Chain A
């Protein structure tokens, strides 16, 4: 009796969307446990937690934020390649609003001394953040309009902003890398609240927001329905265009927050390098989270775990001391192994084992 109950639970667990990403994360951490002594050591520094695990969660926050938005887009059967570029745009906008003087060639000395003053900002922080997020949201809206109303294929439509966006970001900052000295801004990416990094709270807030939006209203169901079968959802009265527009717009908004976090983490707005190839990490995180690229059912939490998996791989590689030239190749192998967990064959295999236990 108790045995069959156990098996029943086992099957239920393996069917959960969170199961595979958690298994992947567990395997990577297990490897660290064996290969890297002291990997799990967590100490406190100035009252904050300090250790590899915290680093993984914190450095994954950029990709986590992107992945939340990307999940909704992929669930509608689309993809957004422009999130990395949107990150660069928002970092540029934020940097310019805080310190527009960096663009001037000649400055009177009384303004010059503000340049590296940690308390100086041209616009108050709330305007900086608000304006940045509005710009990022408009970028998302643009993508949404092209895909939903322009009927342009999502790859092509978002590729436009992926390429042009980095140019726009460079145009905003006049092609220079801007160091950010304003201390309160650095809090977004570097600050701590009650033993945990502030960026983790941000991820949690955006996650709750997205969860409420999709699971406490019918929107989540609409998204899944559009992703599963756009035509039949149209016949059942779901406005496919609006659903897609919403998903892309929200994705842009998330990319804006990610841009704020990434730029404040390094206290620099770097239009050339900020968020390069991050769209691919975000897509990978969503895929590891078990959402199909063809659209349909999705899980936000699983996508965040996916982002942790990616970051755990990177951090482990650094900790193990993989030589620089082998880094990419080994990362690729690990990713292949992780993705293999999702193949139908492997799943059937796991199911078979659980079935055998039942017998």
Chain B
């Protein structure tokens, strides 16, 4: 909380300070030979919600330092009105030439996007897609949630190949979120293709506690389960706890897959309790900044650049090494 206020004050000082001094306006004046040092980025982050978001913010801050560009970080505190206000502010800021948006909602952006276009800002969408005409922004960089689901399903099919029983349970994220919807859909498509049915599915709201509770309740009914697919790492960790208490060996008796590849998932894989985690990469900043620079120099970009994401499994020989090298 304190830090948010601090950022707010800092931001105000920055904005007023710069306006007051009437510093030279950067902007696309440098095009088509802009470099990172010419870039002044206004970044509208959603707010804090968990480990993924924290890593995402850190990525933008650290990469900005490394590349030598100026970053104005705006924390929308999960409040749409605040985020729109921040967008206005950046539109009117003569120094800012790139605006990066991690949108809280998919709709309602036409007005500010038009304003941005008029004032010549490059708009790049990060992590979250919006419903707006494609010529209003330069590009969208983010995960393909359905692809994550398909990757997980492929791994599940491989793990369960040749097994007598193939009961797969699914722990779903927040109902209605695009991540939950698309991951579930991608997972099902591919599972159907290899002939395995998802026998149970329930929301556990991305949380460890609920992941444990749901799995616990299912286990009372039947212990005939061979695979669990959790749409994020936290829910998988909860399922692992429930399986252990029921006397089953997670990772051995029941194959467990998750999405996100956070530090907790790596620890669980090293302990042999999680089989596979599909990466949902929060370290998007290098890709986003690169795209923004290209757009600033007048290049036309594809409207969607999928983020680079891998699949990690517990039987990788260099797992410890990979885990040590990761930031989140």
**A residues bordering B, Cβ < 8 Å?**
36, 38-39, 41, 45-46, 50-52, 55, 59, 116, 163-164, 166-168, 170-171, 175-177, 179, 190, 262, 265-268, 270, 272-274, 314-315, 318-319, 321-325, 327-328
- Which of B35-43, B120-128, B209-217 interfaces with chain A? B209-217
Inter-chain CA distance A161–B238, complex, in Å, is 28
Which of A167, A268, A315, A324 contacts B1 (CB under 8 A)?
A167
Contact in complex: A318, B218 (CB < 8 Å): yes
Q: List 18 A-B contacts (CB under 8 A).
A: A45-B246, A46-B247, A116-B267, A167-B1, A168-B1, A176-B51, A179-B267, A266-B237, A266-B238, A267-B241, A273-B209, A318-B202, A319-B220, A319-B221, A321-B200, A324-B175, A325-B175, A327-B175
**Counting CB contacts under 8 A, is B207 at the interface?**
yes
Which chain B residues in 1-38 approach chain A with CB under 8 Å? Answer: 1-4
**B residues bordering A, Cβ < 8 Å?**
1-4, 48-51, 54, 172, 175-176, 200-203, 206-209, 212-214, 216-218, 220-221, 234, 237-238, 241, 245-247, 262, 264, 267
A42 CB → nearest B CB, Å: 10
Closest partner residue, chain B, to A273 (CB atom): B207
Residues of A within 8 A of B267 (CB): 116, 179
Contact in complex: A177, B264 (CB < 8 Å): yes
A1 CB → nearest B CB, Å: 47
Which of A273, A318, A328 contacts B214 (CB under 8 A)?
A318
Closest partner residue, chain A, to B170 (CB atom): A324
Closest 9 CB pairs of A and B: A167-B1, A318-B217, A324-B203, A266-B208, A175-B54, A272-B50, A52-B220, A273-B207, A325-B175
Most buried by A among B176, B208, B213, B237: B208
Inter-chain CA distance A328–B212, complex, in Å, is 18
Most buried by A among B216, B221, B247: B221
Contact in complex: B201, A324 (CB < 8 Å): yes
Inter-chain CA distance A323–B170, complex, in Å, is 12
A262 CB → nearest B CB, Å: 7
Closest partner residue, chain B, to A181 (CB atom): B267
Closest partner residue, chain B, to A190 (CB atom): B245
Contact in complex: A273, B202 (CB < 8 Å): no
Residues of A within 8 A of B3 (CB): 167, 171
CB within 8 Å for A268 and B208 given contacts A167-B2, A177-B264: yes
Residues of B within 8 A of A321 (CB): 200, 202
Which of A36, A45, A170 contacts B247 (CB under 8 A)?
A45
Residues of A within 8 A of B221 (CB): 36, 38, 319
Contact in complex: A327, B203 (CB < 8 Å): yes
Contact in complex: A265, B209 (CB < 8 Å): yes
Contact in complex: A270, B203 (CB < 8 Å): no
B240 CB → nearest A CB, Å: 10
B48 CB → nearest A CB, Å: 7
Contact in complex: B213, A41 (CB < 8 Å): no
Which of B2, B54, B206, B213 contacts A318 (CB under 8 A)?
B213
CB within 8 Å for A55 and B216 given contacts A163-B1, A270-B208, A324-B203: yes
Residues of B within 8 A of A323 (CB): 201
Most buried by B among A265, A272, A315, A322: A272
Inter-chain CA distance A168–B1, complex, in Å, is 7
Inter-chain CA distance A54–B324, complex, in Å, is 40
Inter-chain CA distance A315–B221, complex, in Å, is 12
Closest partner residue, chain B, to A179 (CB atom): B264
Contact in complex: A177, B51 (CB < 8 Å): yes
B273 CB → nearest A CB, Å: 12
B271 CB → nearest A CB, Å: 8
Residues of B within 8 A of A327 (CB): 175, 202-203
CB within 8 Å for A59 and B213 given contacts A45-B246, A51-B220, A171-B1: yes
Residues of B within 8 A of A164 (CB): 1
Closest partner residue, chain A, to B54 (CB atom): A175
Residues of A within 8 A of B212 (CB): 265-266
Closest partner residue, chain A, to B51 (CB atom): A177
A244 CB → nearest B CB, Å: 26
Contact in complex: B54, A314 (CB < 8 Å): no
Inter-chain CA distance A318–B245, complex, in Å, is 18
Closest partner residue, chain B, to A55 (CB atom): B216
CB within 8 Å for A52 and B217 given contacts A176-B51, A266-B208: yes
Closest partner residue, chain B, to A45 (CB atom): B247
Inter-chain CA distance A51–B238, complex, in Å, is 18
Which of A45, A52, A273 contacts B206 (CB under 8 A)?
A273
CB within 8 Å for A55 and B220 given contacts A176-B54, A177-B51: yes
B155 CB → nearest A CB, Å: 23
Inter-chain CA distance A263–B201, complex, in Å, is 25
Which of B175, B209, B217, B238 contacts A319 (CB under 8 A)?
B217
Inter-chain CA distance A39–B218, complex, in Å, is 11
B156 CB → nearest A CB, Å: 19
Inter-chain CA distance A12–B221, complex, in Å, is 39
B9 CB → nearest A CB, Å: 15
Inter-chain CA distance A44–B153, complex, in Å, is 35
